[in-house]
Structure 1
Amino acid sequence: MPEISTPDQLAARTARTARALAAATGAGRDLGLEVTDPKVLHDVFSVVVHLAPSPVVVRVPTVLPPSFQADLAAQHRRQRDELAVVGWLADRGFPVIPPSPLVPREPVQRDGFSMTFWQFVEIRQDVEPDYAHNAAATAELHAALRDYPGELPFLSSFDRTVTESLDFLESRPDLVEAADLERARREWAFLEPVVGSREGFAKAFPDVVVQTVHGDSPPANLVTTVHGDLHADFELVTSGPVERDLVMIGPDGEAAYDEAAAAQGLPTLNREVLALVSAAGFIQVVACLALVPQLPLLAEGLKPALEAWRSTTPVA
């Protein structure tokens, strides 16, 4: 499995980052922001740009499944949902990194990118994450999101891109071991009818409440800022069981969540549902190998999760 970027890959990534930076800068100026010293703060799945001196950060997704790369309308829909949910939380005083109040609360498309604008906050780099604490904070997030009035797709991260990515990997034995891909396909065929639609999930778990959830491990996306802990990165916000947000958090995190949920008057985790969405989360990890050609460092980053998956009992 490739782990080191080739010169061509490095050149392509550098060019992509430069194009995203230019697009974010141009979009910010078009919206009337003062931008004289734009800085790239982060560059992994998205290029994150501070439009200095304006207190605005732009997030420009750049590493995406092929069907999303070419579908700006799909990116817009997902980003619109994110801005709506986070804006709703911010308007109610819930601790999130809010959309920028200096521009309209809408995604912006420019030069082949779709991007969102956020308030700049100073993140502390001297604090190690406490995932048990963060899992408890997730219960507070779920309590707040129970009242979100908008309509969201069901478990949108378990969408067509999983199948498309597994199909892509068929032709790339350099990215995935044959046994892993065979197992992933077999398990996904079993899981997709349940996690792939609201109706399928309700049939399997008729008594489990579905609500708005973060969709992408909020215990790993609670950032410590000079203003305190703030929830961030709702890019995969969706409707679904709360267990979706506690995948791979471990027994200590699960216990911390249950204690905090009980204090909030919420149900504790349903272990059967947690096992199901955790299994689907592992298939997502395998599917993410399809992104390695765009982001070679991902190969190394996925290794621990792949090893953990291989140690589990197959679900099908």
Structure 2
Amino acid sequence: MADFLTAQQISRRTSAAVDAAVGAGRDLGLTVTDAAVLHDLFSVVVHLAPSPVVVRVPTVLPPLDSQGQRQQAELDVTQWLADQGTPVIPPSPLVPREPVQRGGFSMTFWQYVEEERGKEPDYVANSEMVADLHAAMRAYPGRLSFLSAAEPRFVTDSLALLERRPDLIDPSDLDRARREWAVLEPLVRSRSAFEEAFPGIDLQPIHGDSPSVNIFSAVGRKLYADFELVSLGPVEWDLAALGPACEAAYDRGARRNGMRPLNEDVLRFVNAVGMVRAVAVLSLVPQLPVLLDYMKPAIDQWRATPFAGGMA
């Protein structure tokens, strides 16, 4: 479609994000002579070399007005975890711990950590580590929103937008997604509705964005990273869509930490919400056309699952 960004437009967006990161870093007193892009997908991640600082600049995101608040929550949680001795990539100590706005971007600054190149991730082992993270996060004293990681407003708005985009999703698939969301949304938006549906399931601070996938392989150690969707919720949210082997590994870690195992009913719920979110992500394809190929396997998998995870 005509509104899909071209490779040239995406390149210009990346360059603008790098320029914003470099300019902001220099304004904060950092020496930057050899800025290097480490990652570029939903965010442009820039090492402000030679300073030991990495800037994450979100570039593909829904039009929400709470980005700064979410970024501040991420900075606060990760700093608190670092202070407790939890292995995380912490905010940079060389700049104030707050989001920085420049050039139309809102960015956060992190300590540079050298990556161990060529090491394949072990998602099963990482899932057992997630239980250790949950044990560490339980005592976090700050306030977090209930299941904001599910981004319910984004899902609702995206499903409405996709009504006008048959080039992105078949109308029959969209119809199913909207009917599923009508079943699931009340439990996402309301803590009391969730607790009524799942009595006895405790809520706690959670990572929010598949922490098993977001464990960074630093040289000689593993570090929890990317807490952009940190929320209050059931621990099952952090295991959504990872499958039985990862769930079993998490349960081993939970027992070791004296915590409850995963609940099958809650897993069905979070998996169903995750599938509808995958459909909603199609609304971001014009900003990042490669997403269409990335999301196809998830959409195919979703078609084969029970309606709303069997909750209806």
The equivalent of 1:248 in structure 2 is 241
The equivalent of 1:9 in structure 2 is 6
The equivalent of 1:162 in structure 2 is 155
What displacement does 1:11 show? Answer: 2.1
| Aligned pairs (5 A) from 1:74-153 | 74-153=66-145
Matched, 1:271 2:264: yes
Can you give the 5+ residue segments of structure 2 that lack an aligned partner in the other structure? none
Distance in 1 (alpha carbons) for counterparts of 2:112 and 2:52? 5
The equivalent of 2:254 in structure 1 is 261
Q: Which amino acid aligns with 2:180?
A: E
What displacement does 1:125 show? Answer: 2.2
Distance in 2 (alpha carbons) for counterparts of 1:217 and 1:36? 34
What displacement does 1:293 show? Answer: 0.5
1:278-302 per-position Cα deviation (integer Å, ceiling 9, x unaligned): 1000000000000111101111111
Distance in 2 (alpha carbons) for counterparts of 1:29 and 1:168? 39
The equivalent of 1:230 in structure 2 is 223
Distance in 2 (alpha carbons) for counterparts of 1:176 and 1:81? 34
The equivalent of 2:210 in structure 1 is 217
Q: Which amino acid aligns with 1:223?
A: F
Distance in 2 (alpha carbons) for counterparts of 1:75 and 1:42? 20
Q: Which is worse superposed, 13-22 or 286-295?
A: 13-22
1:215-247 per-position Cα deviation (integer Å, ceiling 9, x unaligned): 010010112111400011110000000000000
Runs of 4+ in 1 over 3 A off after TM superposition: none
Distance in 2 (alpha carbons) for counterparts of 1:308 and 1:124? 32
1:145-186 per-position Cα deviation (integer Å, ceiling 9, x unaligned): 000011011111322011001111110100011111111000
The equivalent of 1:50 in structure 2 is 47
Q: Which amino acid aligns with 2:216?
A: V
- TM-score between both structures, scaled by the size of structure 1: 0.95
State the identity as a percent: 59
Distance in 1 (alpha carbons) for counterparts of 2:220 and 2:145? 32
Distance in 1 (alpha carbons) for counterparts of 2:159 and 2:218? 38
Asked if structure 2 preserves the Cα contact closer than 8 Å seen for 1:9 and 1:294, the reply is: no
Superposition CA RMSD, Å: 1.2
What displacement does 1:122 show? Answer: 1.1
Number of residue pairs matched?
Answer: 307
Distance in 1 (alpha carbons) for counterparts of 2:266 and 2:221? 32
Matched, 1:18 2:15: yes
SS of residue matched to 1:59: strand
Which of residues 163, 169, 185 is equivalent to 1:176?
169
SS of residue matched to 1:202: helix
The equivalent of 1:28 in structure 2 is 25
Can you give the 5+ residue segments of structure 1 that lack an aligned partner in the other structure? none
SS of residue matched to 1:275: helix
Q: Which is worse superposed, 125-134 or 48-57?
A: 125-134
Distance in 1 (alpha carbons) for counterparts of 2:111 and 2:180? 41
Distance in 1 (alpha carbons) for counterparts of 2:116 and 2:166? 41
Q: Which amino acid aligns with 2:266?
A: V
Q: Which amino acid aligns with 1:214?
A: H
